[in-house]
Copies of this chain bind each other. A is one copy, B any other.
Amino acid sequence: MPKKVRRTRMAGRVSKAPSIYDVAREARVSVFTVSAVINKTGRVSATLGRRVEAAIHKLNYRPNLLARSLAKQQTHTLGMVVTDIANPFFPAIVRAAEDAAQKAGYSVLLCNSDDKQDKEAVYLELLLSKRVDGIILNKTPAPLSVAQRRMLDEAKAPIVLLMRTCPGLKTDVVQTDDRQGAIDAIAHLARIGHKRIAFVSGPLNVSNARARRQGYRKALEAFGLEYDPELTFEGDYRIESGHRAGLALLPHRPDAVLVTNYLMTVGFMSAADEIGMRCPEDFGLVSFDDYPWLGCFRPRLTTIELPKYELGDTAVRLLLERIQGKRTHPVTVTLLPQLRVRESCGFMLHSRREPVAVGENS
């Protein structure tokens, strides 16, 4: 005698999406067989296989990945928290991450923390509640609370830190060699004859901002140039702070300046405009970040390019290694930046001195 019928669903009413049971009934097989066919797991006879395929096609069946995720305890979804996708630094990284994820059968849930601690906290919690398999985190400078630490520990979701390390978070890290990037920039400026080199840093509670400043100091020293605090400005990686930096630094008449990201460079240049100083005639400038659209506007920026696509790609690679259990020990990947010499540094004006390695010109 038949057991209690599992579902009472009125066939044909309000047409809900067909389930694996509907397919099984249509093909006159069990759900196991259907599942086996779909996942190509276990041997299924050719006859039943065909019947199942036919039923799937007839009903236009599409597996409910929600249910599958619940059953298998994995969502094939990655969380990605960046400070702001509208900052032109991130789109290429996100694109790369999404590409890599997609290739491996994963999706990306995108979140913007706006560099705010509370938004970041909310998003991390949300991602864990959604049971993402892993998280790529461009961390806010705020340290983790104990509650957060506990949360991340208990959830088994691995984390990869992107561009910013976090004291006390022992996880994988993908970053660029920011210290070296700054050194390359200053070395270039020094070699073409600049002496008084100003510096616009990012917020110094962010690891990469500190690294860039270290490189600046180190390179000054190496070239026997004096460090002058008045030629230094701490910004926050946004346009407006670059503008303030320009207003603050340019009156001191530096020979050149290293601005450590693109948005601040934009602000810096507009400040120069207002003051009536021109680049590279009145001051040389090297910026961080490079973009394909910079080549055809003046002044053409000399930049320290950070390998954005590779950053996103690597982040996903590391995350998947962890998720798939191929590696258990945390690893730090540090990618090399690349000096691209154009005109803003004053190369064309000043350097009749010694040859300098010139990066590929975009």
Rounded to whole angstroms, the CA-CA distance of A297 and B77 in the bound complex is 40
**Contact code string A271-314 (vs B, CB < 8 Å = 1, else 0):** 01100000000000000000011111111000000000000000
Count identical subunits in the complex: 2
Q: Which of A150, A262, A270, A294 has the most B CB atoms < 10 Å from its CB?
A: A270
List B contacts of A94 (CB < 8 A): 85-86, 110
Rounded to whole angstroms, the CA-CA distance of A46 and B297 in the bound complex is 67
Is A204 close to B, CB under 8 A? Answer: no
- Contact stretch, chosen from A25-33, A57-65, A189-197: A57-65
Beta-carbon contact of B60 and A150 below 8 Å: yes
- Contact stretch, chosen from A126-134, A176-184, A221-229, A318-326: A126-134
Please tell me which one of the listed residues B70, B92, B129 contacts residue A70 in the complex, with CB atoms under 8 A apart: B70
Query: Within the complex, what minimum Cβ distance (angstroms) separates A255 from chain B?
Result: 20
Is A54 close to B, CB under 8 A? Answer: no
Do A17 and B95 form a contact, CB below 8 Å, given A131-B66, A293-B88?
no
Do A266 and B296 form a contact, CB below 8 Å, given A70-B70, A108-B109, A128-B62?
yes
List B contacts of A84 (CB < 8 A): 95
Beta-carbon contact of B88 and A90 below 8 Å: no
List B contacts of A299 (CB < 8 A): 297-298
Query: Within the complex, what minimum Cβ distance (angstroms) separates A243 from chain B?
Result: 9
Do A98 and B85 form a contact, CB below 8 Å, given A70-B66, A131-B64, A293-B262?
yes
How many chain A residues touch the partner (CB < 8 A)? 58
List B contacts of A17 (CB < 8 A): 154-155
Query: Within the complex, what minimum Cβ distance (angstroms) separates A118 from chain B?
Result: 12
Is A67 close to B, CB under 8 A? Answer: yes
List B contacts of A266 (CB < 8 A): 292-293, 295-296
Question: Chain A interface (Cβ within 8 Å of chain B)?
Answer: 15, 17, 60, 62-67, 69-70, 75, 77, 84-88, 90-92, 94-95, 98-99, 102, 107-112, 125-126, 128-131, 150-151, 154-155, 239, 262-263, 266, 269-270, 272-273, 292-299
* Contacts A60-B151, A86-B91, A90-B91 known; 14 new A-B pairs at CB < 8 A: A60-B150, A62-B128, A64-B129, A66-B70, A85-B94, A85-B95, A85-B98, A86-B94, A86-B95, A91-B91, A107-B111, A239-B293, A266-B292, A298-B299
The 6 closest A-B pairs by CB, nearest first: A297-B297, A269-B296, A86-B95, A270-B296, A298-B298, A266-B293
